[in-house]
Amino acid sequence: MQVLVIGAGPAGAAAAIELARGGANVRLVEKSHWPRAKTCGDGISPPCVVETDALGIDLSDRMKLAEGDLVTPGGLSMRSGWRAETPWGTIVERRDFDGRLVDAAIAAGARFDDGTTVEALAKGSARSRPTATIAGKAEPFDAIVLAEGATGPLASRAGFGKHKTRLVAVRGYADSVRPLDPVFGLYFERGISPGYGWIFPLGERRANVGLLLDEGQVRRQGGNIRKLLANWLAVSPSARSALGPSPELSSISGGVIPTGRGLRVAGGIFLAGDAAGVADPFSAEGISQALGTGRAAAKALLDNGPGERAARAYAQALRPFDRNAREARRFRLGFGYVMDPLVRRALHRPALAHHLSANGMFMKESLPAFLLGIVKHW
């Protein structure tokens, strides 16, 4: 089976690893020259660590973050940990993280071509295979996994439509005035909730710092998200305590996180990761979903061979991502209103604090189960 994988981020690399290990002839192409940096919060959440373990990627050399800090719009602060089956997450700069994945794909037998642009895609049919135009030549493949990221043009040009909604993020790197606690810091402070600021430690005194908002929030506050990040760092008690009153940021960059897409597989083309719009609409976490969808596309092809059976299997595998996204949108809408009373109660109920952290930050179960857990631990 000849498979082209477009994009060497987590989704594409995960698909390439699994496909190559399963015996497929895999060509992995990346438009950037390798290695390359990537705008991201760099957060490898606890469930994401499970995904990397499944791929055989060892992250045990990184700082383990066994807890998370959450600050509410009213200024309440809560710290708690994760589920026993996923006890820690970590922070890995994308240049390093994606590099580890691509190295694993190459070791599995995938051919890797960086600095290679795919100019166009054409869906296959019952009588023809999907094709990709590279260097002016249309080449057929048994299947194509399209993992071009958030802003790639190929999916829409090939007839997959547009993403449904988008979040906006900006991040930079800063040195701290004191040793950083080994925690994920999410700050839903007044003025930015239901968006949030974050401080993710890369080491004892260096952090990835950023801000996540929806497009409407950014427009209402003047449209300059870099300025909004600077303002948040200047006024946030959490940021000032961790980083000092005037942290100097480097490598500041921003981007969009698309969520939702109506069509993800057709004509032998399988969309994965941000191209498929599977990032969490509440937290904007996307790396775990990228790994999961890349692996799911590979499994569908390896189990069924190229064709409609693989397409149906992949569409079925995406249903849990869509269900989680629907519930995350509801969660986001109501979270800002109920966060203060919930955290106020959780400060005196450790079991409730753990439930909120383990299921509400990176690891939401179904919304009814989450609400039932709140009632149980109230």
Query: Is 120 a domain residue?
Result: yes
pLDDT, the chain, mean: 93
Return the bridge partners of 133, or none: 120, 138
First to last CA, the chain: 54
| Torsions phi, psi for 164 (to 5 deg) | -80, -45
Pair (354, 273) in one structural domain: no
Q: Is the pLDDT of residue 329 over 60?
A: yes
In this predicted structure, what is the pLDDT of residue 366?
73
Task: Retrieve residue 38's tokens.
Answer: 């990537």
State the CATH number of the domain containing residue 297. Answer: 3.50.50.60
Residues 369 and 263 in one domain: no
Task: Please say if the pLDDT value at position 301 is more than 80.
Answer: yes
Q: Is residue 203 part of a domain?
A: no
Q: Are residues 117 and 140 in the same domain?
A: yes
How far is 283 from 360, CA to CA, in rounded Å?
Answer: 9
Helices (DSSP H) in 265-347: which residue ranges? 287-304, 308-346
Q: How many CB atoms lie within 10 A of CB 76?
A: 16
Same domain, 120 and 147: yes
Residue 312 lies in a domain: yes
**Same-domain check for residues 295 and 363:** no
Summarised one tens digit per residue, pLDDT across range 189-239 is 988 988 999 999 999 999 999 999 988 889 998 889 999 999 999 999 999
Q: Are residue 129 and residue 34 in the same domain, yes or no? A: yes
Domain check: are 317 and 368 in the same one?
A: no
- Mean per-residue pLDDT, 69-81: 93
Q: What is the pLDDT of residue 216?
A: 87
Are residues 29 and 170 in contact, defined by beta-carbon separation less than 8 angstroms? no
How large is the average pLDDT for residues 152-158? 96
pLDDT of residue 364: 61
Same domain, 113 and 24: yes
Give how many domains the chain has, as a whole number: 2
Place of tokens 């082209």: 4
Tell me, yes or no, whether 118 lies in a domain. Answer: yes
Question: Do 112 and 151 share a domain, yes or no?
Answer: yes
Q: Is 36 domain-assigned?
A: yes
Q: Containing domain of residue 131, as a range? A: 2-44+92-162+259-327
Residue 289, in any domain of the structure? yes
263 and 373 share a domain?
Answer: no
3-state secondary structure 16-38: HHHHHHCCCEEEEEECCCCCCCC
38 and 101 share one domain: yes
pTM here? 0.95
Q: Is the pLDDT of residue 32 over 60?
A: yes
Phi-psi region of 305 (alpha: psi -120 to 50; beta: other; left: phi over 0): left
**Last residue of one domain, picked from the residues 309, 327, 345:** 327
Q: What percent of the chain has pLDDT above 70?
A: 98
Rounded Cα distance, 41 and 29, in Å: 24
Q: Is residue 313 part of a domain?
A: yes
- Quick one: 15 and 120 in the same domain? yes
Selected residue with higher pLDDT from 100 and 363? 100
Please state, in angstroms and rounded to a whole number, the distance separating the CA atoms of residues 315 and 261: 12
Q: Which of 219, 191, 170, 203 is nearest to 65 (CA)?
A: 203
Residue 98 resides in a domain: yes
DSSP letters for 95-151: HHHHHHHHHHHHHHT-EEEES--EEEEE---SSS--EEEETTEEEE-SEEEE---SS
Q: CA–CA separation, 167 vs 19, rounded Å?
A: 31
